[in-house]
Amino acid sequence: MSDLNAAMATIAQKTEQFLEAHLTAQQLSAPLPAPERLINAVRHGALNGGKRLRPVLVHLTANLFPQPAGDLIQAGAAIECVHCYSLVHDDLPDMDDDDLRRGKPTVHKAFDPATAILAGDALLTHAFALLADGNCHPDPALRNQLVIELVEGAGVGGMAGGQMRDIEGERKGYDPETISLIHAMKTGALIRASVRIGALMGGASKDELAVLTQFGEAAGRIYQLADDILDATQSSEQLGKTAGKDEAQGKSTLIASHGLAHARSALQDELNDALPLLTPFGDRAAPLAQLVTHFAERQS
């Protein structure tokens, strides 16, 4: 675990440094000078000292392979820009209307809603240039594929579609199948894209990519199940955010419909199914297996 923690901390730190250096007026003033206020809002939304879980997934998946090519930190940073854009927009008054994120004012509180809309738009926009850029990977055709993977993770069949389904659910009510689909789209699709982007940069064959896609989808479900259990069992203080939010919002998670014991057993089943998918990668798979086990253990 301490090896994994050290690896995770290093990737998080390098991602933060990359974003710190890249999200500047100097780097992004093309063709014309970027306004300081927008750069500041973009940085407020992206430089938050997060765990950078998606970049970690890119890195650990690429390292299932003996010779990953390209700049894994740059690719991870692109996904992180998309993740951060989604937080900035989801926090808006017209969306979830959250004032705080990681103990800091959200972008629309620190600036204003119009600036937050633009900052989210800008993070989303610039993410794609990071993947299309020659430094990201030596093979231009593979860079095109990375762009398409990120679009699918973020688009109407992924994250944005998941947020739409979540908003519709708040009005119409949820059932467990809908909740699963919302999770798979809202959280799962970008986790899946992170694993696939790592696999592609590792040089995965078609078959390896298919297996790792399965693994990425399972990782998303494990992450979300553990999150649901945490939400139901921990205090807001332990959680660092409002606890019991799912129940308060009428979200019939697996816990509400089938109880906590069932959710814990479903989580264990998911983990038992996911880990063998990594067997073909031998010793190289240990960190990724540890990470997903760590996701599952968060709830205990």
Q: Which residues bind a copy of itself (CB under 8 A)?
A: 25, 28-35, 37-39, 42, 85, 89, 92-95, 112-115, 117-118, 120-122, 124-126, 128-129, 131-134, 140-141, 143-145, 147-148, 151-158, 160-165, 167-168, 181, 184-185, 189, 192
CB of 248 to a copy of itself, least distance (A): 19
CB atoms within 10 A of CB 65: 18
Mapped onto helix, strand or coil, the DSSP state of residue 73 is helix
CB of 202 to a copy of itself, least distance (A): 19
Residue 129 or 211: which CB sits closer to a copy of itself?
129
CB 5, min distance to a copy of itself, A: 30
Q: What is the smallest separation between the CB atom of 52 and a copy of itself, expressed in angstroms? A: 21
> Closer CB to a copy of itself, residue 251 or residue 264?
251
Residue 40 vs 293, nearer CB to a copy of itself: 40
User: Under 8 Å CB-to-CB from 278, ≥6 apart: which residues?
Assistant: 64, 215, 285, 288, 289
Minimum Å gap between C-beta 63 and a copy of itself is 24
Q: Give dist(CA 244, CA 246) in Å, integer.
A: 6
Our CA angle for 86, 88, 93, nearest 5°, is 115
Half-sphere exposure of 273 (CA within 13 A, CB side): 15
User: Looking at beta carbons only, is 222 or 285 nearer to a copy of itself?
Assistant: 222
Q: Which is nearer to a copy of itself, 14 or 183 (CB)?
A: 183
The CA distance from 225 to 211, in Å, is 21
Q: Which is nearer to a copy of itself, 4 or 79 (CB)?
A: 79
Helix (H) or strand (E) holding 85: helix 72-90
Dig out the tokens for 161 from the structure.
């579609």
Q: What SS3 class is residue 11?
A: helix
Q: How far is the CB of 139 from a copy of itself (least distance, A)?
A: 8
